[in-house]
Structure 1
């Protein structure tokens, strides 16, 4: 179904289940991210999208399943080791450190790295992606607008030099023009060869830029196809696109 039959999976999620007490929020999902592609995980609020990302990042404990990065199971690692292995999450709600400067926030993203020259190059790359951050580098992160804070959160994650970037609801609470800009930048990042897993309630925007997509409903994956095919799927149109 994918137009990228020759691409290799970089990350595979197998039978991942997560429960909060007696409530199973994620009910044994399996999905595969091809290297260098954007994969969208879409669905309504409360479907289990964010919980899935938190489990992949090691920030909530999975009941069962495996998350394999090049065959290595991330669920056996601590969250900071997962970051060091190359899987980095931009959390929902941005979580910028508001009392630090923009540049200090970006520097924290590189805390696992020892290659000073590479860090300096990546800082310039982040500033080229987000010129507004360069202009505000010495200012406090707390003085940024919501859209600028989202840019800072993505930039900080990029400073960790991820192989796989996990984006949790990057468009949440932002004005339409800023949302367009964020999605454009996600495509720019992907053009460098970075693999992206995009969790979004904004189903149309997410599927428009994703090579592959999965639809999650009440903790289960109910549809899987190319982004373009899902955009044209009557079930998706009816449930999520106001059809």
Structure 2
């Protein structure tokens, strides 16, 4: 059994990676993951204590560079790594991977799990709040975690219709972030709805999407969106988008 800190739950995964070492690059796969480390299926010759650099492709489409110290070797099978020098953004992304595969994350992100995100009635209107709508749970959880890290309370909707219903009775948001393509009501429809309602017109809107159609981008801006973020995005890019939206709300 490979050695990782016991406070981290290990879960089975299947993530493609590219290992980098003095002998060059090689493809491999992570088959066991926790917030503290991972097990890599590989026939590479490695030694305990060696520092490994690798690129891992996360489910949301991002490639992230990680560092790990080899703590266990199983010749012809693979080796266990303990993550080292994790930045805040990398920690958030790893937590989302663990969460997406059914594992438990930190107490901070446990509050973001489906069904535990606060409703508008549970958050005072005097707290700085951001409304998020995305039908993909992983993206919704990741966006929520990033926005909360920036110091804002989050109300999260699972689709456009739910966001619309929330906005009908609650206009106390410093910003809104919508996915473009959602069931029941598209992000673009939400933007148009907000800009026709006087009580909502002042709230900045950000749109995120994996769609590459330039017409959607133009239509979003024409409808009143303030910024557009392509998917997949990094935590730094989402943080920047949020800062732009907040600056718009203060003008």
Q: Do they fold alike, i.e. is TM over 0.5? A: no
Which of the two has higher C-alpha Rg? 2
Higher relative contact order (CA 8 A, sep 6+): 1
TM-score, normalised with respect to structure 1: 0.31
More helix, by proportion:
1
